[in-house]
Structure 1
């Protein structure tokens, strides 16, 4: 039977690497140090899937002042420090990537350095390089469609032939706005009860919590889309 997808686009944090809790901790500690008290859980709720740049702009509007020029570097340094000891790949993702017989790429809200370091720490970089794209390469991050459209263009694939694997509402929104099919993953350690329902409400075609399901889901949803 015909397979209707030509490209699989993976988000990184919370889909490939179980990093969202770590990233939120680094972000919260750095913001609190600069006079914006916030917990890791509050960062998770407010900024899951949003680029560091856009999260910073939101906070600066709220406090009516600029954060330090090197704020993103401070968050990155804290994140990478935590990565060294705590970061794990999402369970079974390596096997799932190997079983998907389609071109693949990564499109993440993180910086290129953060993506590279995370995938390397988790042992996934060699499976996905060099097709790795960052929100720093486009003018607008998720929930705008720019990053996914950029990834499809770089991979020479029509948006309608792309399937996106996402774990956040901004990511699902971005994928749908790009005209792509989105599968919502809710198996990361950051996902709370009701996360799957939020992803479906944002437009995910299906939701799943175990990466061992992914190769068959891509094939099944691709046939349905056709």
Structure 2
């Protein structure tokens, strides 16, 4: 019988809300820009509808509801505003740098963000060197989260079998995608955008376990931890 310590060969991280504490900032910007372009929406509504999904898919959904294409400068305005806000305010998820420093498994990023956004966010927060060049975006696959394509693509690029991958996710679409890919999923609910209900929502979506402190992750990964196992932060 093999040791549970060898359960995982690869740790796949989402970016926004898992590596960088960006979701609250992004939801406010996204809501403001959509409202500016004729689609009134609040940051809370953006969070509920689009968290974990690509900007491409969110735009298509909005345009379908509007019955028209958003103006040509919408994407450029959204990008420029996010660049400005993230440059001034973006922070890494608490304890993620120290966690990455001691995590013994290979790692990569699989995010709904664009390649440019992923790289920029990780550069701003000082995390890029730990992942570069293993940065994978929803733009590289036909279907983004909640479909499994992105996680399967990342695993293939990293030469890892899906069943030996663990995904770290903070959103329901991300958890759904990881489960559909045949991977183990740990739901993280320690980001600034998370509420007291987030843990239960991630569990209901299929996460094998949930946690809210990145200092827990190395032990969870090393043990091949499954739902219900106690976590010792000592």
| Shorter-chain TM-score tier | over 0.9
Is 30-39 or 62-71 further displaced after alignment?
62-71
Residue matched to 1:75: 78
Aligned length: 224
How far apart, in 2, do the equivalents of 1:173 and 1:190 lie? 19
Among 3, 6, 9, the alignment partner of 1:3 is 6
How far apart, in 1, do the equivalents of 2:67 and 2:150 lie? 28
Residue matched to 2:230: none
Runs of 4+ residues over 6 Å off in structure 1:
none
Structure 2, unmatched stretches of 5+, are: 228-234
Q: Is 1:121 paired with 2:124?
A: yes
Q: Is 1:160 paired with 2:163?
A: yes
Residue matched to 2:28: 25
CA RMSD of the aligned region, Å? 1.2
How far apart, in 2, do the equivalents of 1:223 and 1:14 lie? 22
SS in 1 for 2:167: strand
Structure 1, unmatched stretches of 5+, are: none
User: 1:51 Cα shift?
Assistant: 0.5
SS in 1 for 2:196: coil
User: 1:223 Cα shift?
Assistant: 7.9
User: 1:222 Cα shift?
Assistant: 5.0
SS in 2 for 1:107: strand
How far apart, in 1, do the equivalents of 2:142 and 2:29 lie? 25
Q: TM-score, normalised by structure 2?
A: 0.93
Residue matched to 1:52: 55
User: 1:29 Cα shift?
Assistant: 1.2
Q: TM-score, normalised by structure 1?
A: 0.96
